[in-house]
Amino acid sequence: MKWKISCITSLNNCRLYPYFTKRGEEWHKLIEKSVKNLHHQLDDLKKENNTALLKQKNDFEKLIGTVDGMIKKATELQKSKNITEMQKYRTVINEQLAEE
């Protein structure tokens, strides 16, 4: 198809203007739909990651609490110098380590 110079320089006067306008609107809609879809996927991934991070945080807090309790108990036993209690506590520590 051979275009006239006036058609190229001024699309408003060209008979192809409605075609270009319609095609541009279609592309705009497709791009907008794709961007919305990508934003939705990104939001979903953020939710999934946030859930996983919260679970890990809770697990770590629980583990820290357990370790803090073990340290406190070990310190108390060390100060008391009660060998029988220390041996019982060693068994408890080994059981807890075996669970994890």
3 in a domain, yes or no?
Answer: no
Which among 88, 68, 66 is positioned nearest to 77, based on CA atoms?
Answer: 88
50 in a domain, yes or no?
Answer: yes
Q: What is the DSSP letter of 43?
A: H
33 in a domain, yes or no?
Answer: yes
Q: What is the pTM of this model?
A: 0.49
85 in a domain, yes or no?
Answer: yes
The per-residue pLDDT for range 83-100, each reduced to its tens digit, is 777 777 777 777 777 766
Q: Which domain holds residue 26?
A: 9-99
Regarding predicted confidence, which is higher, 81 or 56?
56
Q: One-letter amino acid identity for 72?
A: K
pLDDT above 60 for 5: no
pLDDT above 90 for 79: no
Tokens of 33: 């739909």
CB-based contact 86:77 (threshold 8 Å): yes
4 in a domain, yes or no?
Answer: no
Helix axes 17-80, 83-99, angle to 10 degrees: 160
CA distance 63 to 86: 22
Question: What HEC string does 25-54 produce?
Answer: HHHHHHHHHHHHHHHHHHHHHHHHHHHHHH
What integer is the mean pLDDT of 25-33?
92
- pLDDT the model gives residue 1: 47
Count up the domains in the chain and report the number: 1
The per-residue pLDDT for range 31-77, each reduced to its tens digit, is 999 999 999 999 999 999 999 999 999 999 999 998 898 888 878 87
92 in a domain, yes or no?
Answer: yes
14 in a domain, yes or no?
Answer: yes
- pLDDT the model gives residue 62: 93
40 in a domain, yes or no?
Answer: yes
